[in-house]
Chains A and B, each alone.
Chain A
Amino acid sequence: MEEDAFNNLLARLREEIAVADPLENIRQKAWQRFLSLGLPSRQNELYRSIKLRHLFSQHYQRAEENVVSLDPLNSWIYPECRQSVFIFVNGRYAPHLSHLGALPRQVVVSSLKDAMSTYGALLNNYWAKTLREETDPFAMLNGALHAEGLFLYLPPKCIVESPIQILHLIHQDDQPQILFPRLQVFASPHSHVHFMVTQQQAAASSYFVDQVSEFLIDEGAHVYYAQLLCDEHPQAWHFDALRAILKRDSTLHTLCVTEGSATVRTDYKICLTGENGEALLNGVSMLADAREAHTHVFMDHQAPSCRSHQLFKAVLNDFSRSSFEGKIMVRKLAQHTEAFQLNKNLLLNDHVHADSKPNLEIFADDVKASHGATIGQLDPDQLFYMKTRGFSDKEAKNLLVHGFCEEIVKKIPLASAREEILGRTAQCLVKD
């Protein structure tokens, strides 16, 4: 059975990494928790749209460290981020390739391992709680197998003006690799930071990225996290777990643009634990060929007067597939919650498949909450109107698809990234 082989692979990786370093304690705990959760099966509701057997049947090896020459590297760094870019190579933070000149001096940047010596208490405290509450096996797996993760601590009132780019480089030859990139961000009260995450891969075959990004957003702090999962090998698997705890008056805005791969799965768990917190999640999947993108959101309103908005769109062509499952939980104390969720899907033919499953659990009684899903095709009246203005069938469809995606893409704050992606929406999907 593929699952057994995969479990054996994971056990081997666990042995390889069991060195006596400051992170070993927490990795052991994560591993124990992973074993008790076990790999998800098709019966697991949250993974019912995912073809896990294909993942389990791959023979992955732990990613090798690779030295990347700097020349092509510079062309992948946005002009706005030349002095504020973190580089990961094959899932490992590479400080020697990163440029941090534009960051305020008070910002603490280090590998997770090194952070354990000065911020051990902070990290252990945080993980003690989150480990108990984590239910996703793959997020837990990252906890057990990560190495050279990135730790970022923003002191109170620290405002990082420059957008920070996190550039993930994946380089591999024929041997499929498994990567565990990890980001740990602590934003102290009233700090501000804006991330732009991108990826460049030079891979000859499939790889599996099992990624976790965790944010503790303290009182009055603001975090913006935009990610472009666009350059993915068609056979790659990419699981991305984003975990955030928001204290009072803080905000988290996220934006994800993906072109999918064999499977891209983004899993958000956002806990609004303090009054007046705000979480805005945006995403657009632009899928062609046999690519897939799946989104799962768990939005947990634990405190009163918080606001959350989810807007996730997908446009599907060829034989692509997508799913969206968004659960909003409003706990008893969370009065005056505003929680909205909208999933819009545009299907370009009869062969694609989009699933949408909203889920609301409301235990407070003074709440504004709604969810909506639309699954539609291009409007023939709009197409005809455009043709009478000289647009060919292909041009008209491209412009309508561009219009559909633009609502999300225009929200990318970094101008160079925004222009780049706007250009991709107009051409990539409708072929002759």
Chain B
Amino acid sequence: MLKIKDLTAIVGHTPILKGVNLDINRGDIHAIMGPNGAGKSTLAKILAGHPAYEVTGGEVWFKGQNLLELEPENRARLGLFMSFQYPVEIPGVSNAQFLHTALNAKRKGNGQSELTDAEFAQLLEKKRKVMEIRPEFTARNVNENFSGGEKKRNEILQMAILHPDLAVLDETDSGLDIDAMRIVAHGVNQLMNAEMGLLLITHYQRLLDYIRPHFVHVMINGKIVQSGGPELALEVENRGYDWLIPSLTTEGKA
């Protein structure tokens, strides 16, 4: 469903992705780990279409379409969802309004009928309870006065409403305590099915105890240097990242 081939990118004048290769099929859960500055979040933002980053080479195909040629909103409508590490506040726009408009836009784009206020309210109520978000939330402005944990849970709630084909969760676990992480993981696991793909970007291994990946990749210095199964995450947890850096020099630079 997602094919990333030799992707290179810069931010300003600084190269940050130096040849990323990754394939994600439907039904698969992938995790990318790596030290700070490896380019993990950058990869997520480039997939979402963030204007601050410039792609200098390579290709990205999503559901057979050239993703890099699509505007961010069209990537979203195609079925890509990104959960932000630092979700933005939008004063003056309520959560309910925001999500209802987003969902209807997506449905319209796919030739489905829009949901009425009542239908949407019902859907939102159901999903809100799964994410254990307080009822007052629906009338509040997007992420306004939310704690870090609440913002992350709100990201997953949005994912639950919008039902993407591929969800990219950028450091969703950062700043979360164990309880919040469990709720987030539960929400994600409930959504996950054989049609969806999931890409978890994480600094710490512990999220992967709750959302079990099929594939784990380690990203260092702008490239994926090692791929494996879930046991790779444990190995990184025990040994750190240093043991993977010699493999960069043995491969040679791209």
Contacts and interface: CB of A to CB of B under 8 A. Distances in A.
A393 interface: yes
12 contacts: A379-B88, A385-B87, A385-B88, A388-B72, A389-B162, A390-B73, A390-B109, A391-B101, A392-B73, A393-B73, A395-B105, A407-B92
Interface of A: 379-382, 384-393, 395-396, 399-400, 402-404, 406-407
B77 interface: yes
A192 B77 CA distance: 52
B76 A402 contact: no
B92 A403 contact: yes
Contact of B76 (A379, A380, A388, A404): A388
B67 to A, nearest CB: 13
B226 to A, nearest CB: 29
A391 B73 contact: yes
B48 A388 contact: yes
B121 interface: no
A389 B87 CA distance: 12
Given A399-B93, A402-B93, A391 B102 contact: yes
Given A386-B90, A395-B105, A399-B97, 9 more contacts: A381-B88, A385-B90, A388-B48, A388-B73, A388-B81, A389-B98, A391-B102, A400-B93, A403-B91
| CB-based closest 8 A-B pairs | A403-B92, A387-B72, A390-B76, A403-B93, A389-B102, A387-B73, A385-B88, A381-B88
B192 interface: no
Q: Which has the most chain A C-beta neighbours within 10 Å: B51, B72, B87?
A: B72
A390 B105 contact: yes
B73 A403 contact: no
B215 to A, nearest CB: 24
A390 B91 contact: no
Contacts, number: 70
Interface in B164-219: none
Nearest to A405: B92
Contact of A404 (B48, B82, B92, B102): B92
Interface of B: 48-51, 71-73, 75-77, 81-82, 84, 87-88, 90-93, 97-98, 101-102, 105-106, 109, 141, 158, 162
Contacts of B48: 388
B201 to A, nearest CB: 15
Contact of A384 (B72, B97, B102): B72
A397 B76 CA distance: 17
B88 A382 contact: yes
A399 B97 CA distance: 9
A390 B101 CA distance: 9
Contacts of A403: 90-93, 141
A380 B49 CA distance: 13
A379 B90 CA distance: 9
Contacts of B90: 382, 385-386, 400, 403
A428 B90 CA distance: 20
A388 B168 CA distance: 11
B51 A384 contact: yes
Contacts of A404: 92
B170 to A, nearest CB: 11
B49 A388 contact: yes
**In this complex, which of B49, B91, B106 has the most chain A Cβ atoms within 10 angstroms of its Cβ?**
B91
A381 B158 CA distance: 17
A406 B141 CA distance: 12
Contacts of B76: 387-390
B92 A384 contact: no
Contacts of B73: 387-388, 390-393, 396
Most buried by A among B73, B97, B158: B73
B92 A390 contact: no
A365 B25 CA distance: 71
Contacts of A380: 51
A393 B90 CA distance: 15
A402 B75 CA distance: 25
A163 to B, nearest CB: 25
B87 A390 contact: no
Contacts of B77: 390
